[in-house]
Amino acid sequence: MFSGVNLKAIKLDEPGQNELVHVGGCGTGWSSDLSRELRTLLEGMATKAPAVSLKRKDAVFVEPVLIAEVEYRAWTDDGKLPHASSKEIRERVDDPTAFDIQSALA
């Protein structure tokens, strides 16, 4: 989602059994300069259809090709990450199974 020239927030998804699963959002952890850079990058990746079943009036959906490493305190009972803070956003260049959060928690 965009606000003015800055990125407002990103939605977080993780691999499920056969599809991506929405697990929350992240709206902090980046500088104003990085926010503008991310917005420019994400605008170039925009798509009309979301990769997950999620409806947001003001959302801009992008292809799920980036990894967001976030800091969080705990998972909610319904599998969400409340108040996550961004540590890094990067291209997926390694084994995506390394990011299988549910397996890591088991």
Average pLDDT of adjacent 10-residue blocks, the chain of 106 residues:
70 83 89 88 85 76 85 90 88 61 53
50-to-5, 28, 53 alpha-carbon distances in Å: 22, 22, 7
Provide the pairing of β-strand 20-28 with 10-15: antiparallel
pLDDT of residue 94: 61
pLDDT of residue 2: 47
pLDDT of residue 61: 84
pLDDT of residue 85: 92
Residue with tokens 């980036």: 66
Q: Is the whole model's pTM more than 0.85, yes or no?
A: no
- The count of residues in the chain is 106
